[in-house]
Amino acid sequence: MNPSQEEFLQKLIETPGVSNYEENVQSLWRDAVKPYTDSIEITPHGNNIATLNGTDDISVMIVGHADEIGLIVRYINSDGFIYVSRVGGVDPAILPSHRVRILSSKTDGIVTGVVGRTAPHQTRDDSGGKKITYSDVWIDIGATNKEEAEKYVNIGDVVIYGEGYQRLIDTRATARCFDNRIGIYIVAEVMKNLHARKNELKATVYGVSSIQEETGVWGAGQAGYHLNPTLAVALDVTPSTDSPGISKELWGQVDVSKGAVISRGIRNNRKISDLMTKTAVDKKIPYQIEVDNGHTSTDADPISQVRSGIPIAVLSPATRYLHSSVEVLDLNDLDHCVNLLTEFILSLKGGMNFRN
């Protein structure tokens, strides 16, 4: 990954984009891909579709989702403390002691707060290991009462928790929302690569930055129905199994820094997975295999179900600590995903059959 690519990735990471509030992320993504595409379309719910035309009667949709998990304001009590619900899969147990940013509709800006919980000095040790729920935590913006808090925050405002992008040792990095700014980063970089090698391109390519994956995995299905491509590849992150306490007997082995992760199994189309694996071998691109048991839990799922069924596959970098504020991955794995998907698409040509 070169410095300009890393700068683009960091901008994607540090732009807030909770489900249904993806527009600033989408604008950034559109500006990045526009010079490398033949057209860009925005669908009614906010999916962004960048098209690069090929020469043969075959098309491929490559898609990552722009949204991230977060919180939404549901109640402000008389003392000005703010209670929230989740947007996507947020474990309330990880929230205490986080600083948060409320995307305020009152101020059209950011209101800073902290997630509070009763201090251990003031609780008796009789919880019996009680699981933390959303009623056990709140956001404190420094307001003295409900009326003051309501000058800054509305019911229904969304909240971002966790910090932005930061390098760790060597090529590893951490951020709050690699899931799934990584996917739309890969789509953008692949579109750039294909534009540079357009004389080799046979397939028409639809690069999609989708919406609301984290709140029901549904936005990409609309784009799939609209485009009706020959095949589709979803780009997402996948949980690694190389940190303590994870059973490889149960979850398999997928490691950070060991290459792009190709999914095989029940939902993934066998012919696509096999061709992607062959491409990785032929081009000497490091790769690993993970298994789906009938659901990929990615944008591939709704795409596979529209019209008469669109053949799908999933490609991912292995990532630690998903749906936390400290997700960890290796930037080299992103390069492997970009290179593999580029070469895979360049291998597509008219007449290929992806029906099982």
One-letter-per-residue 3-state SS of 212-272: CCCCCCCHHHHHHHHHCCCEEEEECCEECCCCCCCCHHHHCCCCCCCCEEEEEECCCCHHH
pLDDT attached to residue 287: 98
The Cα–Cα gap between 235 and 19 comes to: 17
pLDDT attached to residue 330: 98
Tell me if the bond preceding 339 is cis, omega within 30° of 0.
no
Domain-terminating residue out of 161, 192, 211: 161
Tokens of residue 103, six digits: 């995307």
The Cα–Cα gap between 314 and 93 comes to: 30
Q: Residues 199, 131: one domain?
A: no
Q: Rounded to the nearest 5°, which phi and psi values hold at 165?
A: -85, 140
Q: How many structural domains are present in the chain?
A: 2
Q: In a 10 Å sphere around its CB, with 0-12 CB exposed, 13-18 middle and 19+ buried, how is residue 124 labelled?
A: exposed
Q: Residues 104, 44: one domain?
A: no
169 falls within a domain: no
Q: Residues 206, 335: one domain?
A: yes
352 falls within a domain: no
354 falls within a domain: no
Domain-terminating residue out of 161, 186, 221: 161
pLDDT attached to residue 282: 98
Q: Residues 192, 300: one domain?
A: yes
Query: CATH code at 260?
Result: 3.40.630.10
Q: Residues 319, 181: one domain?
A: yes
Q: Residues 155, 185: one domain?
A: no
> At a CB cut-off of 8 Å and minimum separation 6, what does 25 contact?
12, 15, 16, 17, 66, 67, 181, 184, 209
Q: Residues 156, 185: one domain?
A: no
Q: Which positions are catalytic?
A: 213
Q: Token pair 């979803």 is at which residue?
A: 234
Query: CATH code at 146?
Result: 2.40.30.40
The Cα–Cα gap between 25 and 62 comes to: 18
The Cα–Cα gap between 338 and 336 comes to: 5
Residue 264: what residue type? Answer: R
234 falls within a domain: yes
Q: Using CA atoms in the order 118, 76, 324, 237, what is the torsion angle rounded to 10 degrees?
A: 170
167 falls within a domain: no
pLDDT attached to residue 122: 52
The Cα–Cα gap between 187 and 268 comes to: 19
Per-residue pLDDT 10s for the chain (356 aa) are 999 999 999 999 999 999 999 999 999 999 999 999 999 999 999 999 999 999 999 999 999 999 999 999 999 999 999 999 999 999 999 999 899 999 999 998 999 999 998 665 555 555 555 788 999 999 999 999 999 999 999 999 999 998 899 999 999 999 999 999 999 999 999 999 999 999 999 999 999 999 999 999 999 999 999 999 999 999 999 999 999 999 999 999 999 999 999 999 999 999 999 999 999 999 999 999 999 999 999 999 999 999 999 999 999 999 999 999 999 999 999 999 999 999 999 999 999 999 87
- Domain that residue 341 falls in: 3-68+177-346
Question: In which order are the strands placed within the sheet that holds 172-175?
Answer: 166-167, 172-175, 327-330
The Cα–Cα gap between 36 and 33 comes to: 5
pLDDT attached to residue 67: 96
Query: How many CA atoms are closer than 13 Å to the CA of 45, on its beta-carbon side?
Result: 18
Using CA atoms, how far residue 90 sits from 57, 118, 132, in Å, is 43, 20, 12
Q: Residues 191, 95: one domain?
A: no
Packing angle of the helix pair 331-346, 270-282 (nearest 10 deg): 110
pLDDT attached to residue 311: 98
Q: Rounded to the nearest 5°, which phi and psi values hold at 227?
A: -85, -30
Report whether 74 contacts 86 (CB < 8 A).
no
Q: In a 10 Å sphere around its CB, with 0-12 CB exposed, 13-18 middle and 19+ buried, how is residue 117 labelled?
A: middle
Report whether 345 contacts 198 (CB < 8 A).
no
168 falls within a domain: no
Q: Residues 74, 106: one domain?
A: yes
310 falls within a domain: yes
Q: Residues 62, 74: one domain?
A: no
pLDDT attached to residue 203: 98
Q: Residues 267, 195: one domain?
A: yes
Q: Residues 52, 77: one domain?
A: no
pLDDT attached to residue 159: 97
The Cα–Cα gap between 242 and 319 comes to: 9
pLDDT attached to residue 30: 98
Q: In a 10 Å sphere around its CB, with 0-12 CB exposed, 13-18 middle and 19+ buried, how is residue 220 labelled?
A: buried
In the DSSP assignment, the letter for residue 178 is: H
Domain-terminating residue out of 129, 161, 193: 161
109 falls within a domain: yes
The Cα–Cα gap between 214 and 275 comes to: 29
